[in-house]
Structure 1
Amino acid sequence: MSPVEVVPLVDEGLGNSAYLLDLGDGRALVVDVSLDLRAASGAARRSGLRVAFAADTHLHADFLSGARQLSATEGTRVLASAAGHREFAHTGLHDGDEVDLGGLRLRALTTPGHTHEHLSFLLLDADRPVGVFTGGSLLVGAAARTDLVSPDRAEALARAQYASLRRLTELPDGVAVWPTHGAGSFCSAPPGAERTSTIGREKATNPLLRAPDEDAFVSALLGSLGTFPPYFRRLGEINRRGPAVLETSPVLAPLDVARVRASLADGARLIDVRPVERFAAAHVPGSLSIPLRPAFASWLGWLAPHDVPLVVLRDPGQDPAEIAWQATKIGYAGLAGELAGGIGAWDRPVSRTRVVGPGEVDRPVLDIRQASEFAAGHLPGARHIELGDLADRVGEVPAEPLVVMCGHGERAMGAASLLERDGHRDLAVLAGGPGDWSAATGQKLETGR
């Protein structure tokens, strides 16, 4: 058979990779594809392929699976763990089960850890192992977190993860490793890591695989876990039941200003996706700043309520389809629409937020980065509250002039918008991060927590 062609489909924002495998006969397999099927469908169409199989390695917590959508719209056969007890049509696989792909074969390997029902899929050409879709088990330079199913099961699943990784390392060194989670994923992967690897390379370089024993592995894995967005707690069960099948692509319906005002009065939230400087210059009071960028979905899922209607405010050049799809793929179905005409259509007073340069920090600092970022280097005396925790801890923030900061400014503006909604005034946002401040002032950063 000709060389196997596996095309990674990278979602830079969520830090994940889906995969498209050309089966050589006009059909394709996709692995861990999200409900936003634009990349997968486009890649298949360009190659003249029909997606015949969709395999999910686990019940995803960070995005809605697109497998059920493919099954409903294209007749795709869904492959997944029988232990996941999915409530929609699929082929439930147990350890060692194989699926004939037409020349190639897919063998299910139970690899619990990231989730209790996790499968890896070993791709075989005749009897030769070619590569393994490792999902959230073996990652490049890491292993996926084990606390998403339930915090009280984190250690038991970490011990299962240890055994699963040892099982995978029994494969030949030349076998390709195709993980789902990669750099930027809150499911745990080191920043800057490559997206794919080989068994041999991971055995030689992955720090977790070099742990001297199980206890050391568990301690290292659990010690590396940071926080994650609250929507992770909801999506696994939605994926088990089966995400609703979309009849049409999600859109942002235009809403006139009167309707937007009425919606906000009834409890809707306004999500302003414009760049930081545009939000700073003028924004609707009480709106939440989440700039549209690759990480938009993650921060929407972290900061915006999922159980109230959301109204979007964007600039004319920002793609409404991208906004709608990013929200939809993480389960935000309550998009009421967008303010037609943008900020120029708003006919009431606006709010403004000052942006300051690295050499203009003249007041107490609130650093809202992740704990690991803060520990690596922060301004002396800075107060620290992670952005994801801020909505529940606004009462801890003193009602005094503050500079809010992150690494670049996008997250800091989101934090400032939360504080402004809570009644804080005289806030400024730092344009840049701690390194910029140190370079501008000649002062050293503090480390540790």
Structure 2
Amino acid sequence: MFLERIENPGLAQFSYIVGSEGVFAVVDPRRDCQVYLDIVRSQGGRITHIFETHRNEDFVVGSRELAEITGAGIYHGEELDFAYGLPAREGDEFHLGQVRLKVLKTPGHTPESISLVIHDLSTGDAPIGVFTGDALFIGGSGRTDFYPGQEEEMAGQLYDSIFSRLLTLGDQTVVYPAHGAGSACGEGLAERKFSTLGYERLCNPDLQAQSREAFIQAKQGEEHSYPPYFSRMEKYNLDGPPAIVPFNSLQPMGAEDFGQAMQEGMLALDVRSPEAYCGAFIPGSLSVPLDMLPRYAGWFVPLDQEVGLIAESHRDLDSAWEYLLRLGFDRVRGWLEGGLHEWSVQGKRYEHAPVVFAGELQKRLSSGEDFTILDVRTRKEFHKAHLPGAQHIFLGELPQRMQEIGPGRPVTAFCGSGKRAVIAVSLLRQHGIREVENCLGSIQACSRSLCEIVSS
């Protein structure tokens, strides 16, 4: 038996390839699917089946691209009317050499969610593992708020799926979820990427509920964000996404062409570090540091707007394109060749944003200086630890809540380390708020005895 997990960086999304005797299946593939072909080639086999545990909301699934290349069949839950593939029904079995996958209906996160129970027939008939999709995570369980007005019903379905179905497979069963820590599809997930049903039964906070009612109440008390691009992902993953735009179709753009394209409506997306962006940036550009791109591009980059990239290296350009591709952003026009250096030597206007040391921030607070500390972290992060008097607006909600920022006062953007704060800086500048700075280090720096920190 062969099984390998493939991680989608930034989104904390996991896909899997499993099989034996040269016959393999892929579970929840990402859109750029070459990685699966490379793995199968190294094993001397072929991909015959592709499974989707549910209609994913946070990335474009790569089933159709992979099926077109391999001829594999696509299977997903029967409760939604997918425009492609075949329904996988309760009890259906699929054989991959000595591996048997058995379909288990596990609704709750979504109504069509399925899990795939793994049997290694070469060693016995007991389940050896289970692909749980977004039903059960390591250290948590799937969110149940995607269907307004049905939150209680979905939470009840998820309880039944976990306690009456998954946990009955046996404590020995290894858990293979579709997401890990940092995913927008769960809350408080463990950093570990391995577990068993037995361990989750004992230690998973969501599985300690004393009753079905208590579980439902706890799920309804969770707070989750819903980036605007989720609705487009749901449509793509129900109807099938458009064909991938290859990277070699992107064009290097000189400063003149880049500036002209911006005037015609292209969004300049700067994926450099906060330190680089604050040092010099193109007016009107949006800063989203590279490792923040998978989590936050969907909040601020319209899917139907052309994008031009600003990066520090070609390697970063490759990564940015891959991240955007997986999120369904296909209108990437090109990149600024030579970066900000080329922009500046061509005499193009650039600006900079001040930065402030956490220790200096504390001095200002102690002296009673009049300014706004804008904390853009999540509500949970803010309530756990923040600076006295800070104003909290979650980063994803910032464009719609600009009017809440008091006029005429300098603004210090603040977050966990300065990476989300630099996104806020660029958004504030786009909205005409010019007296804004970034607290590099933010709460992480402040927690090193540099600032007074309170909780609420």
TM-score normalised over the length of structure 2: 0.92
Matched with 1:120 is 115
**Amino acid across the alignment from 1:434:** I
**Alpha-carbon distance, 1:115 to partner:** 0.7
Matched with 2:140 is 142
Matched with 1:353 is 353
What's the CA shift string for 1:159-211, capped at 9, x where partnerless?
Answer: 11111111111111101111111101000142443223111111111122220
Shift in alpha-carbon separation, 1:42–1:397, aligned structure 2, 3 A? farther
CA contact (8 A) 2:17 2:24 kept: yes
Give, in whole Å, the separation in 2 of the partners of 1:228 and 1:12. 19
* Unpaired runs of at least 5, structure 1: none
SS in 1 for 2:149: helix
The answer to whether the aligner puts 1:62 opposite 2:54 as a matched pair is no
**Amino acid across the alignment from 1:380:** P
Shift in alpha-carbon separation, 1:247–1:384, aligned structure 2, 3 A? closer
Matched with 2:440 is 431
The answer to whether the aligner puts 1:26 opposite 2:22 as a matched pair is yes
**Amino acid across the alignment from 2:391:** R
Give, in whole Å, the separation in 1 of the partners of 2:372 and 2:82. 51
Aligned counterparts, 1:29-428, within 5 A = 29-88=25-84, 90-126=85-121, 127-148=125-146, 150-166=147-163, 167-246=165-244, 248-249=246-247, 252-293=250-291, 295-316=292-313, 318-346=315-343, 347-361=347-361, 362=364, 363-399=371-407, 400-428=409-437
What's the CA shift string for 1:340-362, capped at 9, x where partnerless?
Answer: 22112323211100111111113
Give, in whole Å, the separation in 2 of the partners of 1:47 and 1:225. 43
CA contact (8 A) 2:417 2:444 kept: no
**Amino acid across the alignment from 1:316:** S
Percent of residue pairs bearing the same amino acid type: 33
Give, in whole Å, the separation in 1 of the partners of 2:319 and 2:392. 32
Shift in alpha-carbon separation, 1:119–1:54, aligned structure 2, 3 A? same
**Amino acid across the alignment from 1:394:** M
TM-score normalised over the length of structure 1: 0.94
Tell me which moved more, 73-82 or 244-253. Answer: 244-253
Give, in whole Å, the separation in 1 of the partners of 2:414 and 2:443. 8
**Amino acid across the alignment from 1:354:** P
Shift in alpha-carbon separation, 1:357–1:38, aligned structure 2, 3 A? farther
Give, in whole Å, the separation in 2 of the partners of 1:288 and 1:190. 29
SS in 2 for 1:366: strand
What's the CA shift string for 1:25-80, capped at 9, x where partnerless?
Answer: 22321111110224333333333332222111000001111111111112122121
**Amino acid across the alignment from 2:350:** V
**Amino acid across the alignment from 1:352:** H
Give, in whole Å, the separation in 1 of the partners of 2:414 and 2:3. 41
Shift in alpha-carbon separation, 1:110–1:42, aligned structure 2, 3 A? same
**Alpha-carbon distance, 1:241 to partner:** 0.6
Shift in alpha-carbon separation, 1:172–1:40, aligned structure 2, 3 A? same
CA contact (8 A) 1:404 1:412 kept: yes
Give, in whole Å, the separation in 1 of the partners of 2:245 and 2:426. 35
**Amino acid across the alignment from 2:379:** A
Tell me which moved more, 310-319 or 68-77. Answer: 310-319
**Amino acid across the alignment from 1:419:** L
CA contact (8 A) 2:20 2:99 kept: no
**Alpha-carbon distance, 1:317 to partner:** 5.1
Give, in whole Å, the separation in 2 of the partners of 1:159 and 1:434. 37
**Alpha-carbon distance, 1:137 to partner:** 0.3
Shift in alpha-carbon separation, 1:387–1:247, aligned structure 2, 3 A? closer
What's the CA shift string for 1:216-254, capped at 9, x where partnerless?
Answer: 101112212321322112211211111223374565321
**Amino acid across the alignment from 2:339:** G
Give, in whole Å, the separation in 2 of the partners of 1:431 and 1:317. 26
Give, in whole Å, the separation in 2 of the partners of 1:381 and 1:352. 27
Give, in whole Å, the separation in 2 of the partners of 1:447 and 1:9. 38
**Amino acid across the alignment from 1:268:** M
**Amino acid across the alignment from 1:416:** V
CA contact (8 A) 1:252 1:324 kept: no
Give, in whole Å, the separation in 2 of the partners of 1:319 and 1:252. 14
Matched with 2:367 is none
CA contact (8 A) 1:96 1:109 kept: yes
What's the CA shift string for 1:291-331, capped at 9, x where partnerless?
Answer: 112x3222111221222111111113543221111101111
CA contact (8 A) 1:358 1:440 kept: no
The answer to whether the aligner puts 1:10 opposite 2:10 as a matched pair is no
Give, in whole Å, the separation in 1 of the partners of 2:119 and 2:153. 31
SS in 1 for 2:150: helix
CA contact (8 A) 1:250 1:328 kept: no
Q: Give the count of matched residue pairs.
A: 440
Tell me which moved more, 386-395 or 125-134. Answer: 125-134
**Amino acid across the alignment from 1:76:** A
CA contact (8 A) 2:139 2:189 kept: no
